[in-house]
Amino acid sequence: MRQLQTLKSDLTKTRIVESSECEINDNEIIVSIENFAFTTNNVTYAVAGDTIGYWQFFKTLNDEKNKWGCIPVWGFAKVIKSNIEEIDIGEKLFGYFPPADLLHLNPIKITDQGFADGKDHRKELPAAYNNYVRLSGDPDYDETSDNIRSLLFPLHITSFCICDAMEDASYYGADQILIVSASSKTAIGVAQGLKESSDTPNVVGITSNKNLDFVKSLDCYDEVITYDDLSSVKEELKTVMVDMAGSREILGTLHGSLGDNMLKCLTVGMTHWDNEVTAEDALGQAMLRERTEFFFAPAHIQKRFKDWGYEGYNQKTNEFMKARSDQSLDWMNIKEINGMDNFISTYERFVDGDINPNEGIIIKI
């Protein structure tokens, strides 16, 4: 077994750890992870690893002091050993995995369509991350869409939830929606989803100079502004912000200029992992924290399960996902990397914020 581990206290530090242990226990299956996607969303998992519990999903090898963690990823795996009568060797699964070659799972709540992992250390974690899809039970499964699915499924589920939550709140009475880090894949999904509705406020994308042309080419924002030109944001309009980056400088500047017109700030991503607000940090202190909340998609998913039922939720999200996946063919270039060793340099680029927004990274094990 091989794992790519990240130092929890310093996301720039990684190591690959190996173990010969591969014994299967009762009520277990062992899966061989074939490939997974990596996006800036995974950096957010690492940043929120302790506060939300992302470090708890997958136990680390050779880590007696619990200093290292496995950043969760989305991808595909095949069953190579099974002590579960209902699950056959050779079955293909889609779900949440560590960046590793093998994983032990304890399937419960088994249906033809999927199961949940019943490992003790995952029982208190969000259910949305513990479910695995059995692709043999999906009549619409198309293997040629695997890369798009692992890259965009988790991101666009979040995009759907953000769009739905804002619509449910009548956009908080806003005249404009500012989307910070407009080039991120989740942000693109939000903007495209909002564009489908006729009654949404003006949607403004905020991005870097280097990504300006790319964001404009997407044609899903009513206006695009760069970080160097934040003064051109219309301060007199009532505003909702959707923040994908977690930069205190940007948030502090916008919160300060908008003042009472900043109605709500939904913080979704935290890719600026090294941010820390200090007493001397005027921009960080300018953030209106009482109007800012971290948007946690699994909580919204559970709400909609209760409101719509499982089938109703699936119908709405499948329609949204299909539309976003089709649109991604126009702008996303998929780059495949062979092996975790070869992925490390690309991982370092993610942590440094140096990934092209139109790239979709797939790691094949």
For the chain, the C-alpha Rg in angstroms (whole number) is: 21
* pLDDT value at residue 285: 44
Q: Which amino acid is at 273?
A: W
Per-residue pLDDT at 276 exceeds 60: no
Burial class of 278 by CB neighbour count within 10 A (0 to 12, 13 to 18, 19+): exposed
The answer to whether residues 16 and 339 touch, using CB atoms and an 8 Å cutoff, is: no
CA distance 235 to 303: 33
Q: How far apart are CA 122 and CA 132, in angstroms?
A: 13
Q: Is the pLDDT of residue 323 over 50?
A: yes
Query: What is residue 270's predicted lDDT score, i.e. its pLDDT?
Result: 53
What local confidence, expressed as pLDDT, does residue 91 receive? 97
pTM of the model: 0.88
Tens of pLDDT, residues 144-171:
999 999 999 989 999 999 999 999 999 9
* Letter string b/e over residues 141-151, b meaning 16 or more CB atoms within 10 A of that residue's CB: eeeeebbbbbb
- Mapping DSSP onto H, E and C, the string for 306-334 reads HHHHHHHHHHHHHHHHHHHHHHHCCCCEE
Average pLDDT, the chain: 91
Comparing 26-35, 64-73, 352-361, the range with the smallest average pLDDT is 352-361
The predicted pLDDT at position 346 comes to 97
Judge contact between 241 and 178, C-beta under 8 A. Answer: yes
- Say what the pLDDT of residue 288 is: 53
pLDDT score recorded for residue 289: 63
Tokens of 84: 């579960």
Better pLDDT: 277 or 91: 91
**Which pLDDT score is estimated for 78?**
98
What's the whole-number mean pLDDT along residues 104-129? 94
- Whose CA is closest to 146, among 338, 365, 298, 362? 362
Quick one: pLDDT at residue 234? Answer: 97
Asked if residues 81 and 30 have their Cβ atoms less than 8 Å apart, the reply is: yes
Domains of the chain: residue spans and CATH: 2-141+332-364 (3.90.180.10), 155-297 (3.40.50.720)
Q: Are 30 and 80 in contact (CB under 8 A)?
A: yes
Q: Above 90 in pLDDT, residue 209?
A: yes
pLDDT exceeds 50 at position 249: yes
Cα–Cα distance between 267 and 309 in angstroms, integer? Answer: 27
